[in-house]
Chains A and B, each alone.
Chain A
Amino acid sequence: MINWLKYKFIYFGLSLALLLTGGYSLITSGLRLGLDFTGGSLLEFKVNAPINELIPVIETETDVASLQVSSDGSYILRSSSLDSAKNMVLQEKLKNQFGQVEEIRFATIGPILGQELIKKTLSGLVLAVVFILLYLAYRFRDKTFGICAVLAMLHDSLIILGAFSLLGVYLGVEIDALFVTAVLTILSFSVHDTIVLYDRIRENRRLRPQDSFAVLANRSISETMTRSINNSLTIIFMLLSLFILGGETTHWFVFALLIGTISGTYSSPFTAVPLLVLFKGKA
């Protein structure tokens, strides 16, 4: 049997390096918030041009959050960085390219995700964390299990946030409403994955009461490794095919889930359990 836990400081080191890189970027640059969070502008206009020729021209002047056709034959453009100066330049450009442009309205629009929603979601998550701590303490007769599961979950969410902070800095990737749901999905996946491993530790503890906790933990990691890899592979197959073949709009949503799945799978045997062994070793 492989002695997984012998290398626990390597795992911690790897996690720490990733967390510090992401954390540094988060603190210095934060996340690039998209239209869903910040609001922006809405421009409705009429021009005689097909939508697929219009988009590249608009994109030379401003970002295109969405462009829709209305039943009146006008276009509705939403953009996070379009201001009135840019609006003038854009309309001039469209006029040169496609002929007459008629502005129907230009409005400053608010965010879809308000502060309120974010605040309330965070309070919901705090409540969820409290529940996870209590439930795992009850089911495993030990409060450290819950603490380590929550730490691993925190690890996974910080990895995603850090990755998107870096993507924002280097590739200009903005986060949107979808990103919020991706993070929530990964939070529940992470805990789910950790509990499966914990369950094996609980069972082995019953079967081999003479073994030390570190030995039990190591055996449990070995026994659940195939399941863990196979399970993540099925999810990764799905995500990879969506990432490579899927539409443009869900690209970064799928990428967030991909990072989260890998991190969530990794963090169960290589963050949650080594931490548990560390806590138990001291006790």
Chain B
Amino acid sequence: MHLARVVGTVVSTIKDEALKGAKLLIIEPLSHDLKPAGERLVAVDAIGVGYGEHVFFERSREATVAFPDRIVPADAAILAVVERVDL
């Protein structure tokens, strides 16, 4: 899993059936001290998050099973809101 911050939203009316009703968000990967670390990407929101929130996300095949009832064509899924990181 990776830390990230939600920085934007992607609105798409015509999309794959399995993604209907799912929110696509732009996230910025973060390092452990919450500094930007890497290219921003589009992720599917599996839990309901908003702008500016810190989250963690999973990449690759594991992202496809983020929803309990279906496999989604996604390579990144937001799986939790992170309230704080203790170091």
Our verdict on whether A and B bind, yes or no, reads no
The chain B residues found within 8 Å of chain A, CB to CB, are none
